Amino acid sequence: MGDQAKLSAGGADFEYPVLKGSVGPDVIDIRKLYGQTGKFTFDPGFTSTASCESALTYIDGDEGVLLHRGYPIGQLAEHSSFMETSYLLLNGELPSKDELATFENTITRHTMLHEQLATFYRGFRRDAHPMAIMCGVVGALSAFYHDSTDIADPEHRKISSHRLIAKMPTIAAMAYKYSVGQPFLYPDNKLSYTGNFLRMTFGVPAEEYEVIPAVEKAMDRIFILHADHEQNASTSTVRLAGSSGANPFACIAAGIACLWGPAHGGANEAALNMLKEIGTPDRIQHYIDRAKDKSDPFRLMGFGHRVYKNYDPRATVMQSTLREVFEALNVTDPLFETALRLEEIALSDPYFAEKKLFPNVDFYSGIILSAIGFPTTMFTVLFALARTVGWVAQWNEMISDPGQKIGRPRQLYTGPTQRDYVPVDKR
């Protein structure tokens, strides 16, 4: 028998199996706890709870390690492409040349949207946040692609996964085009996944759009950096929505809604807005002091992480990609200097050192995305686009698990105990 964890409750002793993963902390299997003890565990925010078994992504937050199917994020960012990383996440292994070509071809051939969806966009106000449009349009896909919503059929699951990954750049670019009042552009199958997205976003029908290879490479790398991140809030949302048997388009729309929040995917937008508000390096100390002040709700956006208690490895790649983009476009941004100085001051401050708060993936991404030409409102949309592959891979993993159950947490109830209804004229 393997390791057991002992627990005493209500005067009796209980033993629970300790399960071992391939790497990382062991977990105590408490599935029988309620049946045996009549007690639940209490873990708001899931800080000590593994919600599922997964073979996709591993994070060692203390060491700053992020692996997809075992491959370090730094190696994937340097040598792989977003399409190859997507194949890896979905299928478990890196593809052969032929497998990659077939996968890219399949994704390319699913990039067009049902024409009727273009009219759906026109129902939104022009000043709608593109994330609001994304939530609506992605949810609406289930009303258009009925032939891929039977989640019990692996072929349906595969087609809906490919559709979601393929259509997300088209949906995102259209959300942008709608907000600036320019015509939608159809996908161009000659271009790469990322090149196509850049053209649909920044091109116009009146002119030939030339994809700048360095920008295409940087954008593709940014997509790789956001592809998956274990059981974060939006991924857990997708899994929870999917656990009831909801169709994949609805589940991914739920993930997008969760990602929108400023503590999660919305942090890149918030980080850039914060850097703009700080403006020049001489004002940094004031904001550092505010971040440390418990009576002030202000936090340094792009700093800190639930899992990383070390430098986020994605932030390292992001910083070097930023320099490459500046060089390729021959631009610079004074906010980069402010960001570098802010990082330096924060990292030498005991408050941030003690709490192990380091820059996360969002700290530098906003500066790169603005240099490429995206407005801040599009930042989280780009995160959603890339994370779709992670959501879809995690959703597939969950549905394929024969032990899968509907997610149904319990609670510690602190409300009134039973009482009798009093008619309104007697209250």
Sites of contact with ligand CMC (CB under 6 A): 229, 232, 263-265, 267, 291, 299-306, 355, 357, 360-362
**In angstroms, what is the minimal distance from the CB of 294 to ligand CMC?**
7
Residue number of the CB closest to ligand CMC reads 304
Nearest CB to ligand CMC, comparing residues 216 and 362: 362
For the CB of residue 362, give the shortest distance to ligand CMC in the complex, in Å.
5
Closest approach, Cβ 262 to ligand CMC, in A, equals: 7
Nearer to ligand CMC, 145 or 352 (CB): 352
The catalytic position among 362, 401, 420, 425 is 362
How far apart are the C-alpha atoms of 345 and 208, rounded to whole Å? 45
Tell me, yes or no, if 362 is annotated catalytic: yes
Q: Shortest gap between Cβ of 194 and ligand CMC (angstroms)?
A: 21
Q: How far is the CB of 313 from ligand CMC (least distance, A)?
A: 12
Q: Which of 305, 333, 349, 420 is labelled catalytic?
A: 305
Closest residue by Cα to residue 200 from 289, 108, 325: 108
Give the pair of three-digit tokens for residue 79: 């040598």
* CB-nearer residue toward ligand CMC: 197 or 308: 308
Nearest-approach distance from CB 263 to ligand CMC, in angstroms: 4
| Of 301 and 325, CB closest to ligand CMC | 301
Residue with smaller CB distance to ligand CMC, 139 or 366: 366
Is the Cβ of residue 198 or residue 291 nearer to ligand CMC in the bound state? 291
- Residues annotated as part of the active site: 305, 362
